[in-house]
């Protein structure tokens, strides 16, 4: 009579393999750091947005003989002013910069860009500054991962 050998895995072997896979998965997740990757992705969008805003303002000024939109005013201490997410009188009364002339007829921009994580409905969470010598700065107010996002022309 022949004795048949049963082949297969024991419960202990299966648990060891599952534990090893869990440890490796944990190491990979920590190495990838998804929250940093998502923050970097949103920062890329912010870089694109501040460049779009600055280029729209300057294209407007080129077509208007160097005159910037009236809502972009030089402040004595170069204090940044938040950019409104819409256009109209509500922007200026709330102390925001209204860049509505830049999106009129979609000539310079189709819409005012908005920060990916901006929680304020009336704001874009971007600020614009005009210095005393006429230089324009656009800055993101809530960048992630200790990054400064600012463009100057």
Average pLDDT by consecutive 10-residue portion of the chain (153 residues)?
Answer: 73 94 90 88 96 94 89 73 84 84 88 92 90 88 93 91
Question: Residue ranges of the alpha helices (H) in the chain?
Answer: 11-32, 34-63, 89-93, 100-103
Instruction: Please tell me the predicted confidence (pLDDT) of residue 78.
Output: 61
**17, 29, 33, 35, 86 from 22: Cα distances, Å:** 9, 11, 16, 20, 49
Distance CA 123, CA 82 (A): 7
pTM exceeds 0.95, yes or no: no
Contact in structure between 129 and 80 (CB atoms under 8 Å): yes
Predicted pLDDT of residue 153: 87
pLDDT at 75: 67
Edge-to-edge, what's the strand order for the sheet holding 136-140?
81-84, 123-130, 136-140, 150-152
Q: Which residues lie across from 44 on neighbouring strands?
A: none
- pLDDT value at residue 77: 61
């Amino acid at each position: 009579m022949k004795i048949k050998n049963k082949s297969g895995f024991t419960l202990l072997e299966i648990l060891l393999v599952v534990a090893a896979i869990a440890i490796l998965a944990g190491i990979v997740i920590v190495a990838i750091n998804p929250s940093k990757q998502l923050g970097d992705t949103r920062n890329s969008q912010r870089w694109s947005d501040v460049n779009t805003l600055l280029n729209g303002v300057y294209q407007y000024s080129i077509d208007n003989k160097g005159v910037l939109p009236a809502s972009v005013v030089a402040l004595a201490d170069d204090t940044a002013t938040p950019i409104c997410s819409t256009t109209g009188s509500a922007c200026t009364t709330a102390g925001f910069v209204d860049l509505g002339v830049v999106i009129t007829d979609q000539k310079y921009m189709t819409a005012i860009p908005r920060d990916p994580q901006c929680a304020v409905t009336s704001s874009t969470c971007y600020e614009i500054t005009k210095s005393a010598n006429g230089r324009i700065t656009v800055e993101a107010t809530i960048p992630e991962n200790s990054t400064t996002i600012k463009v100057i022309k």
